[in-house]
Structure 1
Amino acid sequence: MRTHAPRTSAIVATALAALLALPAASSGPEANATIVGDVTPVAHFPGIGGSEVDSDGERYLFAGQANLRDDLNRQNVEEGQHGGLRIIDLDTMSVVGELACPGTDNYVRYLDPEVYNTPAGDREYVVMAHHGNLCTADALADDPNTRPAYGGFNGVMVVDVTDKTVPSIVSLVGHDSAHTVMPHPTRPYLYILPGGLANGTNVDTGRVSPTGIVDLSDPLEPRYVQAFEHNAQGCHDLGFSHDGDHAFCAGLGEVQVWDIAGDAIEDPNVVGTIVNPAIQFAHNAVVSPSGRYLAINDEAFGFHTCSGEAADLYGSLWIYDISVPELPLLAGRIAPPDHPDDQGFGTLYDAGPINGWADSWCAAHNYNWVPGNDDVIVASWFAGGITAHDISNLLAPELIAHYMPEDGVAWSGHYYAGYLVTNDMVRGVEVLDAPEVRAADPTWSAPEEPGRPGRPDQPGRPDQPGRPDQPGRPDQPGRPDQPGQAGPSGRSVTTSLSGVPTDASAVAALPRVDRSALLLPEVLPARPEAPRQPGFGGGFCVLPGRPA
């Protein structure tokens, strides 16, 4: 186990936190778009290279932007490029702050101030992971835990966003490969994820795709705890149980279940594995509000079909019952949407509108659950746009909202603070009003100011007794293994109303049903070899084999 604390003095000298001319939002889709349900574009913040976007859950969005070329390919960092962090105020629908830091991929996560703070407890922070970044290239050059990439070095920057108009880098930590970063929900630790495709292997040190574990008790002085090696491919993303005792590492070929309770937070134990032969690349793993379910998306870059039919298997969003975390059971699946130009398939190399990779995809990418409700999940699907599904019947998910611009490549799709939010690789950030999705959020109440954009008719929902505008769906029996959910009162809006308790012991006591036989065919659809672009290393994409 090794420790390392980066030099904050060098960071201050190289943190190019210059504010740019902050653009105003434009309204309207500005392009032809497929829309399902009551979805209205509210604000649009254009930009190439949209990556992950996070929120404080109340007012602000924190949107990463990579320095992608116009053809969406990555490039080495240079002066004058776009990219960095944009802070968007949902009250005024405007960009209020920007950190000009060109880099790849500039993956952003907001840190809960109750967990991550200074001793005074008066600051707010986000973290941003990158393979290479202009703002950190000099400061990370001597970090023993990093490697060079894209004209810079792999690492994570800690950004003080207390003053939203002047975000500033306050510390850095390097790692072998910093594709994404995930903060622990209850204790001040960061997990830096290499990418899940063995892209974190460090030949010089002999480390194999490790996860970087960082103690962030002091955001100004991160402590690099260790490079945790656990399989050959590493994690692309990491999800957590709400109590913080378990983590779910998604990567090529499998999702590992880690015990990280107590001292294991610095040295995890692998206690379970999810292997689904229909998942080509397990990209992310996100736990539901009650803690009962885990959503795993398949970023099936090798090959997937985009017909919009339920039979489309690859590229799906898969739902697992994790009420016993060490023994996950397959519970449901959401199929990809159709492709906007009826291309019908997506691969790493084909005749896509731009250059034939992400712009041809309709596979699931970044996503989240509506707070306090296991029944509604929001997701991005690259060219397939952003969706919201009601999964109260896990065997028959219902599409309740869909926004798919014909020129869009949605990297991220989330529900934040009453809105659908997408960060698009081509179009930038878009904020969408979707009343039916918002009505499923028991934590939401309208702001006091009546003129807040996009919500003039949302007076608040103090009781939300059961959606009187939804008189019930006798054809939607719900989850048969969950008592109290099949009645005629309409779609549930809270975990308690839906019969899913929030207490961990009660969740563990619920009946468990393995639906693998219903959801996985005996013979999987053929998966042809997919030639890779030269920029991805050439050769053919190796898809994980079906387990014996």
Structure 2
Amino acid sequence: MREDHVLRSHPRKQRRRLGVAATAAGLLAALLTAAPAGAVPGPGDLPEKRISSSAQAEVEAAIESGEIPGVDEIVHSRNIEHISNTPKDLLPGTNSDLAFQGRYAFAGNYDGFKIFDIKNPRKPKVVAQVLCPGSQNDISVSGDLLFLSTDSSRSDDSCNSTTQPVTEKSSWEGMKIFDISDITRPEYVAAVETACGSHTHTLLPDGDDVYVYVSSYAPNAAYPDCRPPHDGISVIKVPADAPETAAVVDFPVLFPGEGELGGGNPGSPVNPGVSRTTGCHDITVLPSRNLAAGACMGDGILMDISDPAAPVVIDQVQDNANFAFWHSATFNLDADKVVFTDELGGGGMATCNEEIGPHRGANGIYDIVGKGRNAELRFVSYFKIPRHQASTENCVAHNGSLIPVKGRDIMVQSWYQGGISVWEFTDSENPEEIAYFERGPLPDGRGGGTWSTYWYNGYLYSNDMAKGFDVLKLDDRRTNPANRVHLDELNAQTQPRYLRK
């Protein structure tokens, strides 16, 4: 049934019985309380039950019968090799996003960040660990600067801060900036407070300056620095030669409208199960085309960023039938498609099963029709991993990047405990998975899994929330042409022009 940790039978058939059993037990709305949420779930996404002993028994029976991998067991398709894993060390918090520059990988963690030397991907070396708590520590790099998002209320802007109620005016949230010119000794050089903190951020280089689009949401009238309406993004300008002067230069309103709701999705109860739009979760920019795609809770948007400090929304779409929380976006190579992800349940629920189905907690593929400010987003299809997961495994579409193959649309993506999926959407109407890697359930029904997986210079790098830093090698005729592409830097939310060596 299983040999050399490779599942040989068809994935959908392999997991089918577990999905039926879990449905019968009514366990699919279970919340994994130990799972860190990648996003605050919308009103309609909150679970009703915790995992029961019967759910755990179902999973144990499925493992025993071979229907799903065993606890912490690694399984993968034939075309993927798992070449290294570096466990968490001095930073015990949840691992989050990744960025790359030269021979280094930068890994966010709720307790700070790590820097890996990946010159030899089979033996990554930790060259620096920085303790600087503040969820979720979304991370990016540009030149000698490293950027870190803080989206938790802190006592001050230092790396020695403690948690403090968001209702206190003195509390701090926002962007932190480090000098990494000495890669082994990052130096904290600037902090910029932003409204509602910084859940994620996106870099947009502009000559000698770097603009930072700060995404945040969930305002409340009781929060002194995060009151509604909060229907836009903070734009920070960072002079590369004087990062200590970084400051917010604008707050463009992306969803203009009347009252506290603005012009975004009103969410529940108007649209049951959909998050109310009170800002953006993540924005991906495509500087070579002056385009950006925003995943903004209840809305997906396309923007003109020809003026970096003043992005302009040129189209706005909703999917009130199937999308609960618009989480992130990825352009294809030709910039005529966008993949949006739906983080159903905030990343803490088991949603990769038969009852939830293939259209919720999935990717939505949109064609871009028209040019310039006349461009429009048109929905084509959904993609979700075909491998059903256990009722104890938090699983939903999460962070990924393109694998740059000319003439094809292929990306790699994390699915929390659903593992890593490589899938193709060249035919937008018929996307398909072409490779996968995953671990079996964590012990005792704990939440976790892979947060981010990105292609960088011929390898796949993954930051697993619980298990650490993974490196994989993909060997497939459809993706091998990407090995001729070389990048000097990669922040997945700042999509580069992929040039061959």
1:98-119 alpha-carbon deviations (Å, 9 max, x no partner): 21112211100122x3xxxxxx
Report 1:200-211 matches (<5 A): 202-203=223-224, 206-209=227-230, 210-211=232-233
Match of 1:313 among 359, 368, 375: 359
For residues 167 and 388 of structure 2, what CA distance do their matches in structure 1 show?
37
Cα distance change on mapping 1:155 and 1:182 into 2, 3 Å: same
Match of 1:259 among 288, 295, 304: 304
**Is this contact kept in 2: 1:147–1:154, CA < 8 A?**
no
Q: Check if 1:220 corresponds to 2:231.
A: no
Cross-structure match for 2:434: 400
For residues 112 and 212 of structure 2, what CA distance do their matches in structure 1 show?
20
Q: Check if 1:94 corresponds to 2:125.
A: yes
Match of 2:379 among 330, 352, 372: 330
Deviation at 1:398, TM superposition (A): 2.8
Deviation at 1:419, TM superposition (A): 1.3
SS of 1:172 mapped into structure 2: strand
* Letter in structure 2 aligned against 1:444: V
**Tell me, which stretches of 5 or more residues in structure 1 are unaligned?**
1-28, 67-82, 114-123, 344-351, 353-359, 448-493, 498-548
Cα distance change on mapping 1:305 and 1:204 into 2, 3 Å: closer
More strand as a share of residues: 2
TM-score when normalising by structure 2: 0.66
Cα distance change on mapping 1:382 and 1:339 into 2, 3 Å: farther
**Is this contact kept in 2: 1:39–1:432, CA < 8 A?**
yes
**Is this contact kept in 1: 2:341–2:363, CA < 8 A?**
yes
Cα distance change on mapping 1:154 and 1:164 into 2, 3 Å: same
For residues 78 and 222 of structure 2, what CA distance do their matches in structure 1 show?
45
Report 1:254-403 matches (<5 A): 254-262=299-307, 265-277=308-320, 278-301=322-345, 305-307=351-353, 312-324=358-370, 326-341=375-390, 343=391, 352=392, 360-371=393-404, 373=406, 374-403=408-437
For residues 381 and 328 of structure 2, what CA distance do their matches in structure 1 show?
16
Deviation at 1:310, TM superposition (A): 11
* Letter in structure 2 aligned against 1:38: N
**Tell me, which stretches of 5 or more residues in structure 2 are unaligned?**
1-69, 256-260, 262-277, 443-447, 489-496
Deviation at 1:185, TM superposition (A): 4.7
Cross-structure match for 1:422: 462
* Letter in structure 2 aligned against 1:105: Q
Q: Check if 1:84 corresponds to 2:112.
A: yes
Q: Check if 1:64 corresponds to 2:108.
A: yes
SS of 1:162 mapped into structure 2: coil
For residues 154 and 388 of structure 2, what CA distance do their matches in structure 1 show?
35
Q: Check if 1:174 corresponds to 2:223.
A: no
RMSD: 3.6
For residues 424 and 151 of structure 2, what CA distance do their matches in structure 1 show?
36
Aligned-pair identity (%): 24
For residues 397 and 213 of structure 2, what CA distance do their matches in structure 1 show?
23
Match of 2:254 among 230, 234, 241: 230
Match of 2:138 among 107, 114, 136: 107
Q: Check if 1:33 corresponds to 2:74.
A: yes
SS of 1:106 mapped into structure 2: strand
Cα distance change on mapping 1:34 and 1:157 into 2, 3 Å: same
Cross-structure match for 2:293: 248
Indicate the structure whose relative CO is greater, using CA pairs within 8 Å and at least 6 residues apart: 2
1:137-186 alpha-carbon deviations (Å, 9 max, x no partner): 35999xxxx9679x962111112222221112111111122101101154
**Is this contact kept in 1: 2:131–2:159, CA < 8 A?**
no
TM-score when normalising by structure 1: 0.61
For residues 316 and 409 of structure 1, what CA distance do their matches in structure 2 show?
17
Cα distance change on mapping 1:152 and 1:62 into 2, 3 Å: farther
**Is this contact kept in 2: 1:390–1:400, CA < 8 A?**
yes
Cα distance change on mapping 1:270 and 1:202 into 2, 3 Å: farther
Cα distance change on mapping 1:200 and 1:167 into 2, 3 Å: farther
1:240-268 alpha-carbon deviations (Å, 9 max, x no partner): 23336232221222112223323xx3233
For residues 79 and 414 of structure 2, what CA distance do their matches in structure 1 show?
18
Match of 1:165 among 184, 193, 204: 184
Cross-structure match for 2:258: none
Cα distance change on mapping 1:310 and 1:153 into 2, 3 Å: closer
**Is this contact kept in 2: 1:308–1:338, CA < 8 A?**
no
Deviation at 1:385, TM superposition (A): 0.7
For residues 379 and 438 of structure 2, what CA distance do their matches in structure 1 show?
29
Deviation at 1:235, TM superposition (A): 0.4
Deviation at 1:220, TM superposition (A): 2.9
Deviation at 1:283, TM superposition (A): 0.3
Q: Check if 1:155 corresponds to 2:178.
A: no
* Letter in structure 1 aligned against 2:82: P
For residues 253 and 222 of structure 2, what CA distance do their matches in structure 1 show?
10
Deviation at 1:375, TM superposition (A): 1.7
More helix as a share of residues: 2
For residues 174 and 128 of structure 1, what CA distance do their matches in structure 2 show?
12
1:301-359 alpha-carbon deviations (Å, 9 max, x no partner): 17774237995110111221125363111234311343443x2xxxxxxxx3xxxxxxx
Cα distance change on mapping 1:59 and 1:105 into 2, 3 Å: same
Deviation at 1:217, TM superposition (A): 2.3
**Is this contact kept in 2: 1:51–1:425, CA < 8 A?**
yes
Cross-structure match for 1:239: 284
Match of 1:194 among 199, 213, 216: 216
* Letter in structure 1 aligned against 2:247: R
Cα distance change on mapping 1:139 and 1:495 into 2, 3 Å: closer
SS of 1:441 mapped into structure 2: helix
